[in-house]
Amino acid sequence: MDELIHFYLQSTEALLRAAGIPAPIAEALTAEVGNGRPEPAAIALEKAAKAGLLSEAIAAALSMLLTRLSRVTGNVSNDSVPLDDLADAVAVMLSAAELSMQIGTRPMAYNFYEVAYHFGAIFDRPALDVAQKLRELSNPEKVDQFHSAIWRLAIEHVRDCCERRTDWLSCLDAVELALVCPVENPALQADLFSRLLQQVGKAQDTPISELALIVAVQSPRSGWDAGKRSAAMRMVAASRLGPTVDRLSPDQLEIISTAEAQIMFDDMRQLLTPTHVPSPYVTWHELMLGHQRLAGAVPLGRSLIAKSTRTELLLLDLAHEIGHAFVLQGPIGIRQAAYRAAIHYLELLILNIARERDESVELSEVPVTSVLPASAAARAAARLQVAVAFRAAIEQSVWTPWLEGVSMYVELLCDPKEDPTEISALHQCIRSLIDFNIPRNEEESDDAYSQRFADTSAAEFEEFFSNALRSRSRLNHLRYFDDAQGQRRTVSDLYCLGYLIVRSVVSAWEVTLGTRLAPAIAVKLLLNATRAGTFGTGIDVLPIDSDCTLECRIRFLAWVQSLAALPRDTLADFFTAVGRDDKGVVWIWKDGLPQRVTPASVDEATIFYEGQFDSFQRSAAHLAGLNTTCDDGSPNTHVTFLTSLFEQYVAWRRLLPIGRDMSRLLFLDAPGRVGLCTRTYIGETTKEPTSQTEPYADDPRYNHRYWTLDGGVKEAERLRRACGRVGSARLLTTRIVDFGGHPDAPFERANTSYVCSFLKSEYSRVVPWAMDDDISDTHPEFSSLLESRMFPPLRFLNEDDTIGSLSFLKDRLSNAVANDPIALIANSVDFETLALDVAMEASATAFAQGSTSQFRESYEQAMRTTAGRLAVARWMFGTGFGKPVVQEPSLSGQRLPRMIFNAQAFSGITPFGASV
Amino acid sequence: MTQLVSAVHIDIVDAAFAKVVLAAPVAVRRDGKLYKDLSGPVVAAATEIWERIRELLNHAARKGWDVAQQMLDDVNIHITALAEELKEHAHEFRALLLERLQDLMRETFDLVLRSVRSRIQIGEATYILGSVQLESKLVYTSSIEASVTALCKFVGQGETVVKGTYTLMNSPATS
C-alpha cells in the first residue's frame, strides 16, 4: 500500500508541475497533502491562479482533487482499510486521471488509472473501463507498461464478458493478444497470468469454456510453473494423439499442444463469428473472389483435395470463378480497369473542388462525398463519371452471358484428364492452390525433381478434379437450369443461354473439324479467344453521345460469329497437341484469328500488345475528357497521372487473392521459432482421425506453418511488440494467384500462387507455391505489390459502394442536377434485361438465323416448365460428356426443339449458325 | 351423419403441388459482380424428384393405384440414387424432401376436405356443415418412401369417403 501511496503522490506532484505550479511549490504542496493537510495547497493554488500560472477552473479542480487525495491518503494508510474507503480511493484516482487528461499529461493520467486499477484489484472490482484507459494511454516504448496494459485488458474482458454473457469475440481477441505480448518482469508476469487464469477459470459453461486450457498451454514461459504448463500441454496433445503422447519429445509436445490449443481456440472463435454467406462471385473491377467456404479461410496444404465430400463443390466453384478472373485478364477486363481509372481520376477532380483548394489536406484523406460540391466543374466531372460507369455496366451486361457460359463449360465439363499432354493454364492456377508433399529423392537432380514434381502433382490434381467433376456434373447442370419454380427465371435463363451459345460454338468447331472435341481441349480455345482475342470489341473509344448499347451488342455478336466460324486450318493448328516436354504455345489474335507466336514473331507480338495497351490508356484519357498533350505540345501531366492510376489497377487485377483469414501467429520456445495457424475451410469443425507422425495431415480444417525468423530471438521480440502496437496477434493470410508472371516475381511462369501473410506494415511473409522460403526480402517490388493488393491505399478502399457503383454516381448527379440527360439515359437501362436480350439475340443468331422471335418460341417450348428445364439439363449433361445418344431428345414425351438440340451433332447441340 | 364421396382428382393434385414451395431462393446483390447465383444441390435434386412425384401422383390420379404401383418403385429407386449422388448433402436432401412431402399431404388433405360443400340448400331449407370425418387414412411417417406410397395410394384410390354432419340453420342437428 505504501508503494501505491508513494506512486500516486509522486504523480500528483508531476501533475501540479504540468499544470504550471513551480517545482519546489508542487513538491511542498504534495508533501502537505500526504500529511493530510490540503489547506495550504488550496491557498497556493488560488494564488497561482491569480498570478496567471493556471486557469481558475483548473486551480479549483486541482484544489478539490488535492482535498480528496489528502482524505484518501489518510484512509488507506491505516492497517485495515474498509471497502468503502477503497472504493472512494478508486473514484478519486479516476478523477485525478481525468483531470490529468484535461491538463494534457497522458503519462500522469496513465499513472492514476494504474493506481485505480490496483486499488480496485484489492476488492476485485470489475475494471474494464480502467483497463481500456490503461491500454489506450500506455506507452509502446515502455514494453512492460505497454504489455501489462494488454494483459489487464484481457483479464477484464474475460471478467466482463463472463458476467454479461456477451462480446465473446472481443474477449478472445484480447486474451490471445496478451499471450503473445509477455511482460519482461517475471513477478509482474506471474501476477498477471495468475489473474488471467483465475478469470478464465470462471468461464465454465460459456461459449469460451475451453479458454482456461488454451491459456495454460500457451502461457508465457516466465509466467507459470513449468510443471503445470507441461501437464496442460500433455492433456491437450493427448486429446488428439491419445496415449502415444508419452513418446513425444519436449519440442514435439510443444508444437502439437500449441497447435491443438490454437485449433480449439479458432474453432471456438469460428462458432462465435457472425458469418455472411454470399454466393460465389468475382467482381468486375477489383477482381476479388468471394466464396462462403473461404470467408475466413484460405486453401492451404492439401485442404482442397483432402476430403472429397467436403471440397469437391468448392473446387468446382473455384474453377468457375477463377475461370472468370482468368479471362478478365484480357481486354474485357482491362477495359473495366480503364473505366475505373477514368472515374477515379474524375473523382479526384471533384474532391479537389470539394476541399476548396485547401492544399494542406491530402486528397487521399478526403472521403468520397455523396453530395457534389456546388460547382459547374464538379457537375461536369460527375456527368462524365456516369457516362463512363454506364459504358462499364453495358459491357458487363453484354458480356455476362458469354462469360458465364464459358465458366459453366469449365466447371461442368472440363475434365483435365481428357487432355493427355498438357495442363491448361486455368487448371494450373487451380492446382497451385494445393501444396503437394512430394519429397525429393536422394541424388535427384533439380531438373529431374522438377519434372517429377510437375508430373506427380498434375496427376494427383487431375485425379481428384476429374472425380469431383464427373460425380457432381449432373446435379450441377440441374442447379443451373432450375429456376426455383420461376422465381429466378431471368438469372437461370442467362446462364442457360450463355451455356447454349458456348456449346453451339464448340459444336460448330466440331463440324468444321469433322470430329468431337473433348471439352478439356475445346476450352483452351474458348479461354484463349475470350482472354486474348477480344481487342476491339469494347465501346471505350466511342463518342460520348453514341448509342453505346447497340454498338456493344453488335460488336459482341460479330465477335462470337467470327469465333464460331474459325476456319478448319486455324482450328486444326490451334488444337495440335503440344508434346509433353515441349513449351506451351503463345497465341496472338489478329484479324479475328489466333496465330502462333514464334521466336521470329516475338517482337511483332510485343509491339502489338504494347500498342493495344497504349490504346487503353488513350481511351481512359479520352473518357476522362483529357487531351494527351497540352496546347504547347508538352505532355499533359493529368494524363500521366491517369495512366499511373490505370497501370495500378491493371497490376492489381493480375493478382487474384483467394480466401483470407486472420491467422494466429504462434511463438514457440525455440529461439526465433514461430508458426501460423490458418483456417482452410469454413463450415465444418469435426475432428478427423490423426496419426502421431503427421497429426494434422488428415485434418485439413487448419494449416500450420512453422519457420525460424531470420533475426532469431530479437526478431521474435520485435514481432511480439509489433503485435502489441497493431493490437492483434493475427496475420492477414491469403493465397494470391499471379496470372501475369510479374517481372520481379521469383518465377517467370504465370498462373502460380503465393501464400502471403501480413501484420499490417510491420511484417510480411511471401512463400511461392511448391517452396518453403520467404521471398519478401529477395523480391521486394513484387512483395510490396502483393501487400498493396491486400492493403490498398485509403483512396482505393470501398470503391464498390462509391465510385465503383453506377447507382451511387447516378444518384449523386441526380441530386445535384435534376433530369440530367446522362443520368436519365443510365436510368433507362435495366442491365439484367439487357443481358438477357443479348443472350437471346446471340442464341437466335446461333440457332434461328437471327430470328429472335422464332428462337424465343422454341426456347420457351423447351424451358417453360420445370420438367422441361430438367430435361434440357439432363440432355446438356449427357451430350456434354459425349455419352452415346440412344434416343431422340425428349421432353415429357415431346421432342426437344431440333432447332437447338440435335442428336446427330457431335455434342448434341446444333452448331452455331447452322440452324435448319 | 351424411356419407359423401369426394373425388381425389388431378386438379386437387395440381393445386396441392402449386401450394408447396420447395425452397425460397436467396436474393443476391449482382451489381458489379459476376455472381454464381443458382440453386443449391439439395434443392436441385429435390426439384428433380419432385417432378417425378408429381408425375407419379398425376399418373395415380388418372390411372389408379394399381397401375401407379409400378412407377412408384422407380421413384423410390430414384430417391435413393439422388441421395447417393448428393454425398455429403444426402441427409439434408432427405430432410427437405420429407418436410415437403408432409406439406403436400397436408395440402392434399385440406383440398379434399374443402371440396365438401359447406352449405346445402334443399328447397327453402339451408343446411350448414357442422363436422366432417375422413374415412381414408393418410399416415404421416418419417419415411420418405412410405410417405410417397401413402400419398400415391390416397390419390390412386380416386375417391375418398367423407362423413359430414349438416345442421339445418337455426335448428337442432340433423343427420
| A75-117 residue pLDDT tens | 888 778 888 989 999 999 999 999 999 999 999 999 999 999 9
Q: Is 70 exceeded by the pLDDT of residue A354?
A: yes
Q: Which three cell numbers mark A581?
A: 516436354
pLDDT at A684 (0 to 100) = 55
Q: Is 80 exceeded by the pLDDT of residue A70?
A: yes
Q: Is 80 exceeded by the pLDDT of residue A181?
A: yes
Candidates A886, A456, A488, A250; CA nearest to B39 is A488
**Cα-flanking dihedrals φ and ψ of residue A691, to 5°?**
-125, 165
Binding-face residues of A in 264-293 toward B, CB within 8 A: 278-285
**Cα-flanking dihedrals φ and ψ of residue A567, to 5°?**
-70, 160
Q: What is the mean pLDDT of residues A787-812?
A: 90
As a whole number, the mean pLDDT across chain B is: 84
pLDDT at A359 (0 to 100) = 64
Q: Per mean pLDDT, which of A195-204, A502-511, B145-154 is the most reliable?
A: A502-511
Partner residue opposite A400 with nearest CB, options B22, B34, B40: B34
Q: Is 60 exceeded by the pLDDT of residue B80?
A: yes
State whether B47 and A866 contact (CB < 8 Å): yes
**Cα-flanking dihedrals φ and ψ of residue A708, to 5°?**
-105, 130
Which residues lie closer than 8 Å to A521 by C-beta, 6 or more apart? A418, A419, A575
State whether B51 and A866 contact (CB < 8 Å): yes
Distance of alpha carbon A461 from the chain centroid: 25
Q: How far is A336 from chain B (nearest CA, A)?
A: 11
| CA separation for the pair B58, B68 (Å, rounded) | 9
Binding-face residues of A in 830-849 toward B, CB within 8 A: 832
Q: Is 50 exceeded by the pLDDT of residue A24?
A: yes
Interval A407-434: pLDDT, tens: 999 999 999 999 988 888 999 999 999 9
Interval A549-578: pLDDT, tens: 999 999 999 999 999 999 999 999 999 998
As a whole number, the mean pLDDT across chain A is: 89
Partner residue opposite A281 with nearest CB, options B33, B40, B50: B33
Q: What is the mean pLDDT of residues A653-671?
A: 93
Interval B12-40: pLDDT, tens: 889 999 999 888 777 666 677 787 788 89
Interval A275-308: pLDDT, tens: 666 688 999 988 999 998 898 899 999 999 988 8
DSSP string, B101-156: HHHHHHHHHHHHHHTS-SEEEETTEEEEEEEEEE-S-----S-HHHHHHHHHHHHH
pLDDT at A226 (0 to 100) = 84
Q: Is 70 exceeded by the pLDDT of residue B49?
A: yes
Chain position carrying cell 486474348: A532
Interval A144-162: pLDDT, tens: 999 999 999 999 999 999 9
Q: Is 70 exceeded by the pLDDT of residue A694?
A: no
Q: Is 50 exceeded by the pLDDT of residue A697?
A: no
Q: What is the mean pLDDT of residues A360-381?
A: 82
State whether B36 and A317 contact (CB < 8 Å): yes
More confidently predicted of A758 and A207: A758
Burial B63-91 (b: 16+ CB within 10 A, else e): eebeebeebbeebbebbeebbebbbebbe
Which residues lie closer than 8 Å to A94 by C-beta, 6 or more apart? A112, A113, A116, A130
Interval A482-528: pLDDT, tens: 998 888 899 999 999 999 999 999 999 999 999 999 999 999 999 99
Contact B6, B162 (CB under 8 A): yes
DSSP string, A519-554: HHHHHHHHHHHHHHS-TT---TTS-TTS-HHHHHHH
Question: Which DSSP letter does residue A615 get?
Answer: H
Q: Is 90 exceeded by the pLDDT of residue B164?
A: no
**Considering chain A, what percentage of its residues have pLDDT values greater than 70?**
95
pLDDT at B28 (0 to 100) = 65
Name the residue type at position B42. Answer: V
More confidently predicted of A647 and B127: A647
Q: What is the mean pLDDT of residues B128-146?
A: 78
Across the A:B interface, residue pairs with CB atoms under 8 Å apart total: 100
pLDDT at A699 (0 to 100) = 55
| CA separation for the pair A271, A264 (Å, rounded) | 11
pLDDT at B173 (0 to 100) = 47
pLDDT at A378 (0 to 100) = 94
| B90 contact A CB<8A | no
Binding-face residues of B in 22-81 toward A, CB within 8 A: 22-26, 28, 30-41, 43-45, 47-48, 50-51, 55
More confidently predicted of A365 and A252: A252
pLDDT at A915 (0 to 100) = 59
Candidates A738, A763, A762; CA nearest to A751 is A738
| CA separation for the pair A132, A126 (Å, rounded) | 12
pLDDT at B174 (0 to 100) = 46
| A400 contact B CB<8A | yes
For A310, the closest chain B residue by CA position comes to B88
State whether B33 and A282 contact (CB < 8 Å): yes
For A477, the closest chain B residue by CA position comes to B44
